């Protein structure tokens, strides 16, 4: 990170800030704009697109920028950027039509729209940083392939659990250890939470009720861990992850894992429920070096064979500028799904479902997401959670049953389904 701050200082001194174009103006985007404009010299929010322009203007205003202009095309946006103006744009395509935009940051929280826009941006020669674990877990390997074809970089960004975990994973590997568990510490898990149960909490915190529901029912953490698995080559020990419940410190859980099973699987992604320090992330790693083992014991990390490393927080948009600099100036992705699919998130019925039901979306009433190894997903033709929305059931499904492609009517596939189906196990 110290290299990043020096690079930003260099850019600031040269009057050459990274020009960021942002898709979406929700709460996380508002936080990112505030972080860039107030606390990240050497970077600026050049332009924002949101379907409701007033929200884009509000994101600027929250960061203390009260006057914005609107650009109707790429050349107009280029002129405005060179003039140092803060701009809202009338369509997302304007962001990648402008030569001055260095990177597009996707923060829409959508699946299909985000996929379409990321593909367009990369085809136009723009680097992309996404804050969308849902999309990356579903189609990240495909986006990596297309980014290489277009000669650009795509990555899932820092600040959310996948980015924080991958930073820790790389640090642990750099010290010569063998990461075998990449874990997420969850405060609670209830697969049967719905927008009805989460409505009050969502309203009190100014958040989308479906987003809040996906946190509580386990879909979000499953998507995050799948993204990590596809970036590391890890798998899950069983469907849904082991998901130990424990109210002590995560350090105490190293003895709960079978190290030979971990090695056989190439490491696992995991979550634990109720442990401390929440809401942090952890990596359990091994070493075969007696010198390393001796000094790990000296450093109070125990006697192995698993050693615990953790970060006690994730800081959302506060850390996202780090990913932007790493991608633009160092060609370094934060979470890159380069291992093809290893783990996917499947749709599992929250309740008894009936033939003819049209499935709702993530964080809804109908299904929750669970991690499963891709070999099993493909063998059993299981339905990915992010591709379930809008599908019509052709048979009754019992609660807690994993949905398959054979359970839903097949219409014309949308582009993201076509892309998903084009990826095959290596």
Q: Does one domain contain both 273 and 378?
A: no
Q: Smallest Cα–Cα separation from 38: which of 49, 26, 30?
A: 30
Using the predicted structure, report yes or no on whether residue 414 has a pLDDT greater than 50.
yes
Q: Does one domain contain both 282 and 379?
A: no
If you average pLDDT over every residue of the chain, what do you get?
95
Q: Could you tell me if residue 147 is inside a domain? A: no
CA dihedral sign, ordered 212, 216, 222, 225? positive
For a pLDDT cut of 70, what percent of the chain falls above it? Answer: 99
Q: Could you tell me if residue 159 is inside a domain? A: no
Q: Smallest Cα–Cα separation from 219: which of 402, 376, 389, 370?
A: 370
Q: Does one domain contain both 17 and 116?
A: yes
**Confidence band (pLDDT; 50, 70, 90) for 426?**
very low
Cα–Cα distance measured from residue 98 to residue 101, given in angstroms and rounded to the nearest whole number: 6
Cα–Cα distance measured from residue 169 to residue 334, given in angstroms and rounded to the nearest whole number: 11
Give the mean model confidence (pLDDT) for residues 122-128.
Answer: 98
Q: Does one domain contain both 299 and 348?
A: no
Cα–Cα distance measured from residue 35 to residue 41, given in angstroms and rounded to the nearest whole number: 10
Cα–Cα distance measured from residue 56 to residue 419, given in angstroms and rounded to the nearest whole number: 30
Q: Does one domain contain both 43 and 172?
A: no
Instruction: Determine the pLDDT at residue 424.
Output: 61
For residue range 148-205, what is the model confidence (pLDDT) as tens digits? Answer: 999 999 999 999 999 999 999 999 999 999 999 999 999 999 999 999 999 999 898 8
Q: Total structural domains in the chain? A: 3
For a pLDDT cut of 90, what percent of the chain falls above it? Answer: 91
Q: Does one domain contain both 251 and 384?
A: no
Cα–Cα distance measured from residue 262 to residue 25, given in angstroms and rounded to the nearest whole number: 41
Using the predicted structure, report yes or no on whether residue 14 has a pLDDT greater than 50.
yes
Give the mean model confidence (pLDDT) for residues 204-214.
Answer: 90
Q: Does one domain contain both 262 and 382?
A: no
User: Structure pTM?
Assistant: 0.96
Cα–Cα distance measured from residue 232 to residue 85, given in angstroms and rounded to the nearest whole number: 41
Q: Does one domain contain both 275 and 408?
A: no
Q: Smallest Cα–Cα separation from 79: which of 46, 102, 123, 43?
A: 46
Q: Could you tell me if residue 153 is inside a domain? A: no
Q: Does one domain contain both 175 and 295?
A: yes
Cα–Cα distance measured from residue 305 to residue 380, given in angstroms and rounded to the nearest whole number: 35
Using the predicted structure, report yes or no on whether residue 410 has a pLDDT greater than 90.
no
What is the CATH number for 363? 3.90.1210.10
For residue range 374-409, what is the model confidence (pLDDT) as tens digits? Answer: 999 999 999 999 999 999 999 999 999 999 999 999
Q: Could you tell me if residue 194 is inside a domain? A: yes
140 bridge partner residues: none
What is the CATH number for 83? 3.40.50.720
Phi, psi angles (nearest 5°) of residue 151: 75, 30
Give the mean model confidence (pLDDT) for residues 320-333.
Answer: 97
Give the mean model confidence (pLDDT) for residues 6-20.
Answer: 97
Q: Does one domain contain both 119 and 173?
A: no
Picking from 295, 313, 331, the residue at the C-terminal end of a domain is 313
Q: Could you tell me if residue 374 is inside a domain? A: yes
Q: Could you tell me if residue 393 is inside a domain? A: yes
Cis upstream peptide for 126 (omega within 30°): no
Cα–Cα distance measured from residue 253 to residue 409, given in angstroms and rounded to the nearest whole number: 44
Cα–Cα distance measured from residue 271 to residue 161, given in angstroms and rounded to the nearest whole number: 11
Picking from 131, 152, 183, the residue at the C-terminal end of a domain is 131
Picking from 79, 113, 131, the residue at the C-terminal end of a domain is 131
**Confidence band (pLDDT; 50, 70, 90) for 425?**
very low
Q: Does one domain contain both 309 and 347?
A: no
Q: How far is CA 392 from CA 354, 388, 403, in A?
A: 10, 9, 12
User: What is the domain range of residue 274?
Assistant: 164-313
Give the mean model confidence (pLDDT) for residues 72-81.
Answer: 95
Cα–Cα distance measured from residue 319 to residue 48, given in angstroms and rounded to the nearest whole number: 19
Q: Does one domain contain both 98 and 19?
A: yes
Using the predicted structure, report yes or no on whether residue 1 has a pLDDT greater than 80.
no
* Encoded tokens for 360: 């709702």
Cα–Cα distance measured from residue 98 to residue 173, given in angstroms and rounded to the nearest whole number: 39
Q: Could you tell me if residue 308 is inside a domain? A: yes
Give the mean model confidence (pLDDT) for residues 339-348.
Answer: 93
Instruction: Determine the pLDDT at residue 75.
Output: 96
């Amino acid at each position: 990170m110290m290299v990043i701050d020096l690079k930003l200082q260099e850019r600031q001194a040269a009057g050459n800030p990274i020009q960021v174009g942002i898709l979406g103006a929700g709460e996380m985007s508002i936080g990112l704009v505030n972080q860039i404009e107030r606390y990240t010299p050497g970077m600026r929010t050049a332009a924002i697109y949101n379907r409701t322009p007033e929200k884009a203007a509000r994101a600027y205003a929250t960061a203390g920028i009260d006057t914005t202009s609107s650009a109707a095309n790429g050349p107009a946006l280029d002129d405005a950027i060179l003039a140092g103006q803060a701009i809202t744009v009338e369509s997302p395509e304007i962001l990648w039509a402008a030569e001055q935009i260095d990177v597009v940051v996707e923060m829409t929280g959508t699946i299909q729209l985000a996929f379409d826009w990321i593909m367009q941006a990369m085809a136009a020669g723009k680097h992309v940083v996404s804050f969308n674990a849902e999309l990356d877990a579903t189609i990240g390997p495909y986006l990596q392939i297309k980014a290489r074809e277009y000669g650009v970089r795509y990555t899932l960004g820092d600040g959310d659990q996948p980015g924080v975990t991958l930073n820790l994973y790389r640090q642990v590997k750099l010290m010569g250890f063998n990461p075998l568990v990449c874990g997420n510490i969850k405060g609670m898990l209830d697969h049967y939470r719905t927008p009805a149960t989460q409505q009050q909490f969502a309203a009190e915190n100014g958040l989308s009720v479906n987003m809040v529901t996906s946190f509580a029912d386990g879909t979000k953490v499953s998507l995050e861990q799948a993204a990590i698995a596809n970036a590391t080559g890890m798998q899950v020990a069983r469907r849904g992850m082991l998901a130990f419940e424990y109210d002590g410190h995560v350090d105490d859980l190293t003895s709960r894992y079978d190290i030979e099973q971990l090695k056989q699987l190439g490491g696992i992604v995991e979550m634990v429920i109720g442990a401390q320090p929440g809401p942090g992330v952890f990596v359990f790693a091994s070493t075969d070096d007696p010198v390393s083992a001796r000094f790990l014991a000296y450093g109070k990390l125990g006697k192995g064979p698993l050693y615990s490393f953790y970060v006690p927080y994730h800081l959302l948009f506060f850390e996202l500028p780090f990913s932007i600099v790493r991608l633009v100036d160092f060609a370094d992705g934060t979470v890159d799904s380069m291992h093809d699919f290893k783990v996917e998130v499947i749709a599992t019925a929250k309740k008894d479902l009936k033939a003819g039901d049209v499935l709702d979306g993530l964080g809804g009433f109908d299904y929750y997401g669970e991690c499963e190894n891709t070999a099993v997903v493909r063998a059993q033709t299981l339905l990915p959670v992010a591709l379930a929305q809008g599908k019509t059931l052709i048979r009754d499904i019992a609660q807690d049953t994993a949905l398959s492609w054979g359970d839903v009517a097949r219409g014309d596939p949308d582009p993201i389904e076509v892309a998903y189906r084009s990826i095959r196990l290596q």
